[in-house]
Amino acid sequence: MDKIAVLIPCYNESKTIEKVIKDFKAVLPDATIYVYDNNSTDGTDEIARQNGAVVRYEYQQGKGNVIRRMFRDIDAECYIMTDGDDTYPAVNAPEMVDKVLNRNVDMVVGDRLSSTYFQENKRPFHNFGNSLVRSSINHLFHTDIKDIMTGYRAFSYEFVKTFPVISRGFEIETEMSIHAADKNMFVENVIVDYKDRPEGSESKLNTYSDGIKVLRTIARLFRTYQPMKYFGLISAVLAVLGGGFSVPVFKEYFATGLVKRFPTLIVCCFVILTAILSLFSGAILKTITWKNRQDFEMIRHYARNRKKELEE
């Protein structure tokens, strides 16, 4: 079992991977550095191997798939996850490791948005998207995570071994943040400087398609983790619509004793019935979600015992 494992998912990062490995070796000399190559075609794996990293491969394309493989394969007391594009400073890694090992923090978030991100990032829509995602998640899940989309994080053994990776691509960071919030894990933020990619290094993140995936992930996880709020909101909207359109029908009935718009009345009844079903669906799913949280605490207990066995 490693004391500290530095995890670097890579796809065509030959221009920067050497510097990233050297920087993290300098600040964390006792760490094991793992580079997981995700079908690179520019020799990223060979450069990483020549610089002393442990190189492994994940052939399913997508950052989420790479992280799933990393979390399954590697046992460590503390994990540092970073990108291979040299946008995150290694100098903050010891502080992040200290929080995990000595303060029992489950996830440390490398917060770019409170420092230089908006000045360094040259893609305005990325800036808007990061702010939108941060405010959405903090509002929906009552958290105070300063940077939802950052790829620079530190994790405890318990977080890594109990985190069910569902996402395949760049929405993985959003999933991590919501999982930590829902399971009441100990999260802290560390402000880090951010610098844009060096010239010649291209981002693999598609502004629009990956942005839509992130927003869809937020909606899906909100439905999964907060079903009463999700279905309660749907129920409220349907109840207002059904009740609103039925008002003229009932006014006419009380005035004349006749129902002339019978199809409208039928539709309104079905809409209100759907609202009631939605409300009860939310209540039932909330009970299931609560039971899942209880089961998760047992899983965490198992992971804690497993960690002790590996340390021995």
What's the average pLDDT block by block, 10 residues per block, for the chain (312 residues)? 95 94 96 96 95 95 93 96 93 96 95 74 61 81 86 95 86 88 92 75 60 79 89 95 91 83 89 95 92 84 82 72
Place of tokens 């893609």: 123
Among the listed residues 210, 192, 53, the one whose alpha carbon sits nearest the alpha carbon of residue 113: 192
CA distances to 3, 40, 45 from 9, in Å = 19, 11, 11
Question: Which tokens in the block code for residue 252?
Answer: 């006419």
pLDDT number for residue 109: 95
Q: What angle do CA 125, 126, 127 make, to 5 degrees?
A: 90
Residues 6+ apart with CB under 8 A from 25: 31, 33, 52
Three-class SS state of 41: coil
Instruction: Say if residues 187 and 300 touch (Cβ distance below 8 Å).
Output: no
Of 109, 110, 107, 105, the C-alpha closest to 89 is 110
CB 207 within 8 A of CB 123: yes
Whole-number Å distance between alpha carbons of 215 and 273 = 30
* Whole-angstrom distance, CA of residue 182 vs CA of residue 130: 20
Amino acid at 95: E
Give the pLDDT score at 195: 78
Q: Does domain 2-225 have CATH number 3.40.220.10?
A: no
Helix (H, G, I), strand (E, B) or coil at 176: helix
| The token pair that represents 177 in the structure block | 């943040």
**Backbone Cα Rg of the chain:** 24
pLDDT at 227: 92
Cβ atoms of residues 170 and 210 within 8 Å = yes
pLDDT for res 70: 95
Angle, vertex CA 273, rays to CA 267 and CA 279, nearest 5: 140
Classified as helix, coil or strand, 288 is helix
The C-alpha angle with vertex 287 and arms to 282 and 289, in degrees rounded to 5, equals: 90
Long-range CB contacts for residues 251-254, cutoff 8 Å, separation at least 24:
none
Q: CA 286, CA 229: separation in Å to the nearest integer?
A: 9
- pLDDT for res 233: 94
Assessment of whether the complete model's pTM goes beyond 0.85: no
